[in-house]
Homo-oligomer: A and B are copies of this chain.
């Protein structure tokens, strides 16, 4: 340790020990938490926040701030301590005293929506690292679009061994390496300890060689030698590639008995060990007590980028791209996209094409892509299948940062998490594609997007057994139900080209959560000839009324099955049975409607209600008060789409038969 160094007139080591003390005290008081990581990384974090990170607690959302991501989210007290000490108004000492208590801003793992300065929600390992890749991509893109004066910042990550063991890390690392994200710096808390004990119990990967294999620059430092840490950080800022810094630390640094062991990881140190640790660190203060001079020094540390922020604001004011930048950062061009989609919907209503809904979605993207420069597309190596590539758009690459299409590679999980990072960064609206079946691969990131409440649009094609020959591994059956189960996620399944444009509108307007667009591989007929109102945003609506009397049957369907419902209605009407068809492109938005609307759509108890979706029925009965459901109850099968539908009895004839049986 370089004890002699002073920061703002105070022994740097003391500043670091403040973090350690707060972490120990907060975990002890909460009777749960993770003291070891904050204690291990306190020195490196002190160097980062006092010398390198560009941030301003007085303006936490300053667009050109560096992003700091605590990917090892269990070390949340490290972040909370730093936010409090550097002067973020949200983070008071009282909040730290209420660590992990109901309603506090100091949740067990950092939740970005609870306090400013928390850039992303972490805890599920590897996610923060992958978010950071997306943040760095957003920065690179916006830098190319708006120039150095407006956008020029780094993304710093602290990742643990767990982050690096999770598979998502490989997807993130390889994507970052390919994209040469030289302003991405990952500090690996290399403490050789995981929950079960030594990391070597389960891993002997040479992490430095692994990152180098994916075209990163790799540095090392002693995480308890501040000068050495500063040297590594300084070198990292000059890299032409993303950088890994292997920062060798001792977990629970300072705790006489538990340091360097798994016992320091995830539980309070206990009164005795805590006291001994404070003694060993020379910290002679009671719980949550911090001498004024130390608080003062930390606040001075926190103020060090205020000048840079002011300068940026000055530059910003006179920048010719100012308005465009403000619009981008506030999502202002969404309105133009909405308008373009409205035109597209009207066009489709007039043309009435028979198209796969993935193709309708592709046309919708084409229609709005130029109007909304914030849209940043991509696909997990299924571009032609997902119809996500807007006509004429260029790839985002190291050579062309202005490109607006990302070749994510076969990395659904890393892609979804990177999109989360982009949305969190701001200035871009990320969307990208894969098959609906592979929503399972990206599910942890989709969930975090929903928890964080951020606008990320997941295009998911090949949305049923209708994908045909690829078979049950690729045919989603339970994915729609499983996605609808995630709180705050909107799952859209449009029925034709008009609904596809409408659902895109709804997804873009859903600023506070992610959306799924479930789209078909196979063609489906046009059903709407009027697009004067966006009916999809009601979640479910009567597409076809009953004729010739009071409705006896109501068929509720989504996506390609709405056409089956329409055909079944025709057959039932021909037999004199008045039948309605309700298209239900988004269950979640239907739930948001008032009761009167819901009741009007659902009809009364006298009417027979049948649901239809080429998927399992879970959730359908309670959503619409169904009497019966025509769908799947097993995995699919490899066969041409028509054969598969017939095999599983998902046909207009089956709907008619079901209706007549139950009437």
Residues of A whose CB lies within 8 Å of any CB of B are: 30, 32-33, 73, 100-104, 107-109, 111, 121-125, 161-162, 165-171, 174-175, 177-178, 194-196, 201-207, 209-210, 212-215, 379, 381-385, 395, 407-414, 437-438, 440-441, 443-444, 447-448, 450-451, 468-474, 477-478, 481-482, 484-488, 616-622, 633-635, 637-640, 643-644, 647
B487 touches A102 (CB 8 A): no
Nearest to A107 among chain B residues (CB) is: B638
* A481 vs chain B, min Cβ distance (A): 4
A123 touches B470 (CB 8 A): yes
Per a CB cutoff under 8 Å, which of B122, B171, B204 touches A167? B171
A100 touches B638 (CB 8 A): yes
Please name all residues of chain B whose beta carbon is closer than 8 Å to the beta carbon of A171 when the two chains form the complex. 165-167
B411 touches A474 (CB 8 A): no
Please name all residues of chain B whose beta carbon is closer than 8 Å to the beta carbon of A482 when the two chains form the complex. 478, 481-482, 485-486
Q: Please report the C-alpha to C-alpha distance between residue A122 and residue B414 in the assembled complex, in whole angstroms.
A: 21
B619 touches A618 (CB 8 A): yes
Per a CB cutoff under 8 Å, which of B101, B196, B407 touches A639? B101
Please name all residues of chain B whose beta carbon is closer than 8 Å to the beta carbon of A107 when the two chains form the complex. 471-472, 637-638
Nearest to A178 among chain B residues (CB) is: B204
Per a CB cutoff under 8 Å, which of B201, B444, B618 touches A485? B618
Query: 23 A-B pairs, CB-CB below 8 angstroms?
Result: A100-B640, A103-B639, A104-B638, A107-B471, A111-B472, A111-B638, A124-B474, A125-B410, A165-B409, A167-B170, A167-B171, A167-B414, A178-B202, A195-B384, A202-B381, A202-B407, A204-B215, A209-B212, A478-B485, A481-B485, A485-B616, A487-B616, A619-B619
Q: Please report the C-alpha to C-alpha distance between residue A313 and residue B103 in the assembled complex, in whole angstroms.
A: 67
Q: Which residue, of A203, A209, A635, has the highest number of chain B Cβ atoms within 10 A? A: A203
Q: Please report the C-alpha to C-alpha distance between residue A198 and residue B83 in the assembled complex, in whole angstroms.
A: 45
A162 touches B638 (CB 8 A): no
Asked whether A410 and B486 contact (CB < 8 A) given A108-B638, A166-B167, A202-B178, the answer is no
Per a CB cutoff under 8 Å, which of B203, B395, B408, B444 touches A409? B203
Asked whether A194 and B409 contact (CB < 8 A) given A100-B639, A473-B109, A487-B634, the answer is yes
Q: Please report the C-alpha to C-alpha distance between residue A125 and residue B153 in the assembled complex, in whole angstroms.
A: 36
A633 touches B487 (CB 8 A): yes
* A84 vs chain B, min Cβ distance (A): 17
Q: Please report the C-alpha to C-alpha distance between residue A171 and residue B481 in the assembled complex, in whole angstroms.
A: 28
B169 touches A167 (CB 8 A): yes
Nearest to A124 among chain B residues (CB) is: B473
Please name all residues of chain B whose beta carbon is closer than 8 Å to the beta carbon of A194 when the two chains form the complex. 381, 409-410
Please name all residues of chain B whose beta carbon is closer than 8 Å to the beta carbon of A104 when the two chains form the complex. 638
A206 touches B202 (CB 8 A): no
Asked whether A438 and B124 contact (CB < 8 A) given A171-B167, A478-B486, the answer is yes
Q: Please report the C-alpha to C-alpha distance between residue A410 and residue B159 in the assembled complex, in whole angstroms.
A: 13
* A406 vs chain B, min Cβ distance (A): 9
What are the 10 tightest A-B residue pairs by CB atom distance, in nearest-first order? A167-B167, A202-B409, A107-B638, A123-B473, A102-B639, A170-B170, A209-B213, A478-B485, A100-B469, A621-B622
Q: Please report the C-alpha to C-alpha distance between residue A381 and residue B126 in the assembled complex, in whole angstroms.
A: 15
Asked whether A640 and B203 contact (CB < 8 A) given A411-B167, A473-B451, the answer is no
A472 touches B451 (CB 8 A): yes
Asked whether A102 and B647 contact (CB < 8 A) given A201-B395, A411-B167, A477-B487, the answer is yes
A474 touches B410 (CB 8 A): no
Per a CB cutoff under 8 Å, which of B32, B407, B443, B620 touches A196? B407
